[in-house]
Structure 1
Amino acid sequence: MVTGRDRGRAAETRRSIEAAGGRAIDLVADLGDSAAARGLVAQIHEAIEGPLDVLVHNAGGGNFAPTESTPEEVHHAACNVHAKAPFILTGSFAPAMADRGRGVIVNVGSLSTSMAVAGTCAFQASKAALSMMTKSWTAEYGPRGVGVNSVDPGFILTPVNEGIRDMYGWVLSRLAACRTWRAPEDVANAVRFLVSPKASYINGVNADRGRWQDRCRGYVTASAVP
């Protein structure tokens, strides 16, 4: 099940899955809109046969600007995409997972929740909320067989980030390893592992472990405690 704001990109992703031998359905929804998130739940129930086993919260975005220059609606949008939409979707699908005693939820968070960067308040605050929900959902659904984990990428070279790669080059020099930008596939590989049977004993939280420079040995960290 592929969803996003851009109908063309969602269809492109579906076609790539089909070309690889899989089956996929693409649905369009802007998760910055709470009504659209609730509508997506209804669309998913109509589109699939059987239960939903895996839920990946990967929608993201944000505006990088000083707090005083960030419009209130931009702050609301970040909170809606990174926190409210995952809250709505998890509340809609996790109970059924728990009733069956199986299921996986993966939150795609951000390395930035363990560091302070000027001009990213709305983005960091909303991603920090998602990090806290990882902990809460682990306690709430973990005992009933649902795995909840977080993958926290650093600076991933996506088309959106092309315009800021020079601005955040200083971060690369401070990481313990991987001093180049990473690709979206690096994040996808971590998510793929966490939703696979090989990760069935991993169910945990994203926790700070000292200074962020020491914590991050690369750009993708899957923080989990058995």
Structure 2
Amino acid sequence: MRLHEKTALVTGATSNIGRAIAVEFGRQGAHVVVSGRDATRGAQVVEEIRAAGGQADFVAADLDGTKAASQRLAEQATETLGGHIDILVNNAGIFPADTTPTTDEATFDRVYGVNVKAPFFLVAAIAPAMIERGGGVIINLGSWNARLGLPVGTLYASTKGALETLTRAWSAEFGAQGVRVNGISPGVVGHELAESMMRGTPFGTIGSPDAIAHAAVYLASDEAEFVHGTVIDVDGGRMGVAVIAA
């Protein structure tokens, strides 16, 4: 129970990576707030955690990038978790596969709102309370294509690059005050149609959301007390090893 008696807020926790993190946090002893827009899927995640003996509650949130939306989630999650948040996982994000010429201004603003502004204002709302309590953990979910260019999804890649930069900047801002800030850069996870992107890598195929969850547990635990301002690649070697085209 590596997160015994810890409290955690996981955004975008109703599916895929966010769901896996929330479930694993519950298994490891944390009281988890599962946050997302879909109450039905949220209830399913909560039930899965509770059925395994964990503690979980759902808090609905539409993180549109406004300060008010992030502040509201921070307040509701804090109340639900008994007055404090030990761990914040900024996972919620959207991925339009548009090219640069086909991206309109509304889409640009929406993607930056969800992927960058929402976590920014969540941290602004939650980090000071962590500092007052003597510490906490913030984990940001990046992406491998923030550092490896693809011909589509340019806008998304730029937002994940921004989140990686915020990870280092927040570590500098809050680390000396007891708040550890790190990130995870997942590789190709859970998308069978993208399996070709993993050919020639050490792992050879797509990864599982559980692999990301295990990394999140490590970063959230006291075992990672000496890890600050780092983005861990959990990508089957996609970024670290040369892929030779067949």
TM-score range, shorter chain: 0.7 to 0.9
Amino acid at match of 1:194: L
Partner of 1:100: 133
**Which secondary structure state, in structure 2, belongs to the residue aligned with residue 67 of structure 1?**
coil
Partner of 1:37: 70
**Partners of 1:82 and 1:68 in 2: CA distance:** 20
Amino acid at match of 2:99: P
Instruction: Spell out, residue by residue over 1:161-193, the C-alpha distance to the aligned partner (whole angstroms, 9 max, x if none).
Output: 45xx2xx44421243x11111111111111011
Amino acid at match of 2:158: A
Unaligned runs of 5+ in 1: 218-226
**Partners of 1:108 and 1:214 in 2: CA distance:** 16
Partner of 1:118: 151
1:88 matched to 2:117: no
Partner of 2:56: 24
**Partners of 2:47 and 2:65 in 1: CA distance:** 26
Partner of 1:202: 227
Count of residues paired in the alignment: 206
**Which secondary structure state, in structure 1, belongs to the residue aligned with residue 150 of structure 2?**
coil
C-alpha contact (below 8 Å) 2:187/2:238 kept by paired residues: no
1:215 matched to 2:236: no
Aligned counterpart in structure 2 of residue 172 of structure 1, from 191, 198, 201: 198
Moved over 4 A (4+): none
**Partners of 1:7 and 1:173 in 2: CA distance:** 37
Partner of 2:104: 71
TM value normalised by structure 2: 0.78
1:59 matched to 2:92: yes
Task: State percent identity of aligned pairs.
Answer: 35
Q: How far does residue 205 in structure 1 lie from its aligned partner after superposition?
A: 2.7
Amino acid at match of 1:125: S
Unaligned runs of 5+ in 2: 1-32
**Partners of 2:136 and 2:176 in 1: CA distance:** 12
Residues 132, 216 of structure 1: alpha-carbon distance in 2 compared, 3 angstrom cutoff: farther
Q: How far does residue 213 in structure 1 lie from its aligned partner after superposition?
A: 5.0
Partner of 1:127: 160
Partner of 2:177: 144
Residues 144, 66 of structure 1: alpha-carbon distance in 2 compared, 3 angstrom cutoff: same
Q: CA RMSD in A?
A: 2.1
TM value normalised by structure 1: 0.84
**Partners of 1:19 and 1:213 in 2: CA distance:** 35
Instruction: Spell out, residue by residue over 1:65-119, the C-alpha distance to the aligned partner (whole angstroms, 9 max, x if none).
Output: 2111122222222111211111111011111212232110000110111111011
**Which secondary structure state, in structure 2, belongs to the residue aligned with residue 52 of structure 1?**
coil
**Which secondary structure state, in structure 1, belongs to the residue aligned with residue 62 of structure 2?**
coil
Partner of 1:220: none
C-alpha contact (below 8 Å) 2:86/2:136 kept by paired residues: yes
Residues 169, 24 of structure 1: alpha-carbon distance in 2 compared, 3 angstrom cutoff: closer
Amino acid at match of 1:18: R
Partner of 2:186: 153
